[in-house]
Amino acid sequence: MKNIIVAKFGGSSLADSCQFKKVKLIIEKDERRRFIVPSAPGKRNKEDQKITDLLYLCHTHAEQNISFDYVFEIIGNRYRDLVKELNIDLNIQTYLDEIKNKIKKGASADYTASRGEYLNGLILAKYLEYEFIDPVEIIFFKPNGIFDEERTNKEIYIRLSKVERAVIPGFYGAMPNGEVKTFSRGGSDVTGAIVARGVEASLYENWTDVSGFLMADPKIVENPKNIKEISYRELRELSYMGATVLHEDAIFPVRKVGIPINIKNTNRPEDEGTLIIDDLDPVSYSGTITGIAGKKDFAVITVEKSMMNVEQGYCRKVLSILEDNNVSFEHMPSGVDTVSLVIAQNQLNGKLNRILKEIELKCCPDSLEVHPHMGLIAVVGRGMSRTIGTSAKIFMALAKENINVRMISQGSSEINIIIGMEDSDFERAIRAIYNSFN
């Protein structure tokens, strides 16, 4: 199938009838938007509730034999209001009654939660006059609960090539026995990507309430610039460091076949948003860095042992101690006679002393030190590898701010530089780096 856009609309994009109207206008603007994936209605304001959360609440109440009538009434009202305000001909009450009954009779948490998307999909399909396709017919899981990529791709292609325009609710699919199974929270992003992959779309649009990714966290940097274009690998680096807009699993289905993702803002459709593109596509923007992200609260364990470089298997011994204690590490910078392990502090809770004792005992280091409270910042950009002086610029900016750099690591792909500093310098460091490139 050619020239198709799959458009996913998140919960805030479909939170009330006003939002539905915006969504309709957006869809009508480009006739390539043939397959639409909605989330369940999200929050209308800060104090509001997400339908999915309310559905999970109904399920927990039902499990404990507590009445959930009150919660279900709130859910019902949201959907009844939508149908009324959009003036569509749909007997939503029949569906609501059936769902309530099933929850009362012990329906699973996955089935219950999935009804948020199901009902929203029914309403949106009616409103757009698109066909409604229940994802249990086209999205499948294997008996072990893992997503069944092969079967799903095949079924989507067969089913959707016969359909001109359809709404396919996000977040769930079916087990081999037909039972509903959901993806993890935020999983409508994943459905959108799977559908895009299945119909071989030329673009996957992910409509949300922000105009794409920002170059830095707006809580730290005032009014950061928008990222116009980012490659999948850069995105992975930034999301690993805490920048999130998109469900991580949504990347893999489309990345594999080179379908770009455009993150767009339903409330400001004229904004370009962020385009996520193939790693091999040429860099078309002028800046050398794409974005900055980071996390605090790492601890560094530094092991020193003279002549470590000639002792075979030394690092393996150190790492096996972490493995035995179920601890993973993030980075492992090393020197001639030292190796440091950078570990998220929360992983070490209650385990640090044991790990240190084991290192003392099994690795006999000359010295063993722990430095807690380190922040890590990743400066990411495909443009960096060809630009001389990028790191000079970063470290000059930090020096000017009087920030002590505790660790430096540059991936061999040269698309990121990771810098460690005291947690207390973290925000200042991000601002300094951002300002030196903007």
Judged by beta carbon, residue 153 or residue 188, the one nearer ligand ASP is 188
Residue 48 makes CB contacts below 8 A (sequence gap 6+) with 15
Q: What gap in Å lies between CA 314 and CA 339, rounded to an integer?
A: 10
CB-neighbour burial class of residue 228 (10 A; exposed 0-12, middle 13-18, buried 19+): middle
- Contact string 23-42 vs ligand ASP (x = CB under 6 A): ----------------xx--
Structure tokens at 117: 């998307």
- Distance in Å, CB of 186 to ligand ASP, minimum: 4
The residue number with the shortest CB distance to ligand ASP is: 188
DSSP state of 324: H
Per CB under 6 A, which of residues 113..132 are in contact with ligand ASP?
116
Are 292 and 379 within 8 A, CB to CB?
yes
CB of 51 to ligand ASP, least distance (A): 7
Pick from 4, 19, 36, 50 the residue near ligand ASP by CB under 6 A. 50
Q: Shortest distance, CB of residue 89 to ligand ASP, whole angstroms?
A: 26
Q: Which is nearer to ligand ASP, 186 or 260 (CB)?
A: 186
Contact pick of 52, 112, 153, 416 for ligand ASP (by CB under 6 A): 52
Q: How far is CA 186 from CA 44, 53, 118, 171, in A?
A: 17, 12, 15, 7
Distance CA 432, CA 434 (A): 6
Nearer to ligand ASP, 103 or 419 (CB): 103
Q: How many residues bind ligand ASP (CB under 6 A)?
A: 13
Nearest-approach distance from CB 53 to ligand ASP, in angstroms = 7
Distances (CA, A) of 324 to 99, 161, 303, 345: 47, 51, 18, 17
Q: How far is the CB of 10 from ligand ASP (least distance, A)?
A: 6
Smallest distance, Å, CB 217 to ligand ASP?
22
- Interface residue with ligand ASP among 19, 152, 188, 206 (CB under 6 A) is 188
Min CB(289)–ligand ASP separation in Å: 30
Of 121, 173, 186, 260, the residue at the interface with ligand ASP (CB under 6 A) is: 186
Q: Can you tell me which of 121, 135, 169, 170 binds ligand ASP, judged by CB under 6 A?
A: 170
68 or 183: whose CB is closer to ligand ASP? 183
Q: How far is CA 145 from CA 60, 141, 251, in A?
A: 22, 6, 20
19 is a contact residue toward ligand ASP (CB under 6 A): no
Q: Minimum distance from CB of 212 to ligand ASP (Å)?
A: 18
Six-digit token string for 326: 């179920």
Give the three-state DSSP class for 13: helix
Strand order in the sheet with 229-231: 131-132, 166-167, 33-38, 5-9, 203-208, 261-265, 274-277, 229-231
In angstroms, the first-to-last Cα distance of the chain is: 42
Distance CA 426, CA 417 (A): 15
Q: Which amino acid is at 209?
A: D
Least distance from C-beta 36 to ligand ASP, angstroms? 14
Q: Interface with ligand ASP includes 187 (CB under 6 A)? A: yes
Q: Is 171 among the residues that bind ligand ASP (CB under 6 A)? A: yes
Residues of this chain that interact with ligand ASP (CB under 6 A) are: 11, 39-40, 50, 52, 116, 170-171, 185-189
